[in-house]
Copies of this chain bind each other. A is one copy, B any other.
Amino acid sequence: MVGYEADKDALLRRLRRVEGQVRGLQQMVTDERYCIDVLTQISAATKALQSVAVGLLDGHLRHCVTDAIGEGGPVAEAKITEATAAVERLIKS
């Protein structure tokens, strides 16, 4: 089981939209569009990716981490350590 099971279709739609944004970026570069416009689109794609990440994290806490805490002990501890590390990577990226 994964934390995003119920939202899988919505998640795939969002990722396909990000793929479209990245392909749009390639078209902009091919067309030699103005640097600042390309940068603005990169900011938009980055935001979209980060927003997908926040949704995934929410599902992960709500399902995987919640289940692990139900079990308790070192399993729960390890799940929280892992979740915090994932948040740290997101903040730094």
Q: What is the total number of residues of chain A having a CB less than 8 Å from a CB of chain B? A: 63
Check A77/B56 contact, CB under 8 A, given A5-B32, A86-B39, A91-B50.
no
What CA separation (Å) do A83 and B87 show in the bound complex?
A: 11
Interface pair A30/B42, CB less than 8 Å apart: no
Given contacts A40-B86, A42-B90, 5 further A-B pairs with CB under 8 A are A2-B33, A42-B56, A43-B86, A61-B83, A87-B87
Where the two chains meet, the residues of A that have a C-beta atom closer than 8 Å to any C-beta of B are 2-5, 8, 11-12, 15-16, 18-19, 22-23, 25-26, 29-30, 32-36, 38-40, 42-47, 49-50, 52-54, 56-62, 64-66, 69-70, 76-77, 80-84, 86-93
- 21 intermolecular pairs with C-beta atoms under 8 Å apart: A2-B33, A8-B29, A12-B26, A19-B23, A35-B56, A35-B64, A36-B86, A38-B56, A39-B56, A39-B86, A39-B89, A39-B90, A42-B49, A42-B50, A43-B92, A61-B65, A61-B80, A66-B69, A66-B80, A69-B70, A90-B91
